[in-house]
Amino acid sequence: MERSDLARCERIVVKVGTSTLTHPTHQLNLMRMEVLVREMADIHNQGKELLLVSSGAIGLGVARLGLKEPPRTLPMKQAMAAVGQGTLVHMYEKLFSEYSKTVAQVLLTKDDFNERLRYLNSRNTLLTLLGLGVIPIINENDTVVVDEIKFGDNDTLSALVAGAVDADLLVILSDIDGLYDDDPRQNPKARRLPEVYEITDEMEKKSHRRGTKLASGGMYTKLLAAKIVMAAGIPMVVAHGAEKNVLRRIIAGEPLGTLFVPKESRMQARKRWIAFGSACQGKVYIDNGAKEAVLHRGKSLLPSGITGVEGIFERGNVISLVDLEGHEFARGITNYSAEEIKLIAGKKTSQIERILGHKDYDEVIHRNNLTVYEA
């Protein structure tokens, strides 16, 4: 795809990081926040649908209570999130209302994506809000979700939201103007990459660096987000949140930030959920013949190709398919439990009933319930 194609995007997810919203004092950067809200309101006036994933709750809690140092313990972080979330949404509501825009607060956790029914319910709620002309303001429920605070997953959350609502574009605004071939804070000769077509292992290794004290993400979590949306067929742009008219210029096709170019074909919604939204409960190890059949011949996973099982899972759970070198290449919904697969691994389909005493399915994972990561 070309940058000019972004002008045709109708449903856009915008993720704003803590460093974009706040001053070094942890207080809200009201001028920048107001400019971004005005820009989003104007884009909304053009008939485009917007979803805003916003960080900043913990930082606002710190500022509101006058703490001198950012909290270090999880209970304190959760307490700060509880205090700051109300302030954050109140400010958004006040600013958006000046442009006659209605907003809605939506707090999500990983469980809202892991469980299929909760995932569908979250998706339907967001789509209904969009249909009503509302701008959802989304954040992780930091007050109760421990690992989300610890690892700073709002980048990943924005990618999952983009996939759930079939977005046309994800824009992540940060304190850096894109992905570089090296850390620009340490290497002045580092070069910004205008487009990225594939996330390599080298990129991930170079990106293991935290954000600010209150922004627990960094470029690594943005690469994880890019992996999700690129596989789902959704373009993503990482750009500096302080850039003038940043959203309008991105949508107009200007070469701001880094464009992560997606695969040409989009995954079906169900397969996106299997690949990225669901919790993986275990692994099955697959021989080379079965891997070839799944990846390149569109086949289901049969017991004959399985060489090992890891984890405790039941039928209906999502599990990983791992090759003999330990590389995960697919995920799927299993028709058999871990204990049952251990008994039938390496056996022919015709032997399943004799071994287990029943045979509900020929396949361990049917092709319709499989999502592959490479082809």
pLDDT, tens digit, for every residue of 263-317?
Answer: 776 777 778 778 777 778 899 999 999 999 999 998 999 999 999 999 999 998 8
Was 55 annotated as part of a binding site? yes
Instruction: Please say if the pLDDT value at position 357 is more than 50.
Output: yes
pTM of the model: 0.80
221 is annotated as contributing to ligand binding: yes
142 is in an annotated binding site: yes
- Asked if residue 222 belongs to a known ligand binding site, the reply is yes
User: What would the pLDDT profile of 149-206 be if each residue is shown by its tens digit?
Assistant: 443 568 989 999 998 899 999 999 998 889 988 777 778 888 889 999 988 878 877 7
DSSP 3-state of 280: strand
Residue 84 labelled as part of a binding site: no
Pick left, alpha or beta for residue 152 (phi over 0 → left; psi -120 to 50 → alpha; otherwise beta). Answer: left
For residue 235, the model assigns a pLDDT of 95
175 is in an annotated binding site: yes
| Residue 220 is assigned to a ligand binding site | yes
How many Cβ atoms are within 10 Å of 10's Cβ, its own excluded?
A: 11
Q: Could you give the CA distance from residue 249 to residue 243 in angstroms, rounded to a whole number?
A: 9
- 97-116 confidence digits (pLDDT tens): 999 999 999 998 887 887 77
Q: Is 216 annotated as a binding residue?
A: yes
Residue 158, annotated as binding a ligand: no
Task: List, in order of start, the domains of the chain with CATH numbers.
Answer: 3-270 (3.40.1160.10), 279-372 (2.30.130.10)
The DSSP 8-state label assigned to residue 139 in this structure reads E
Q: Taking 80 as the threshold, does the pLDDT of residue 358 lie above it? A: yes
Tokens at 119, concatenated: 């995932």
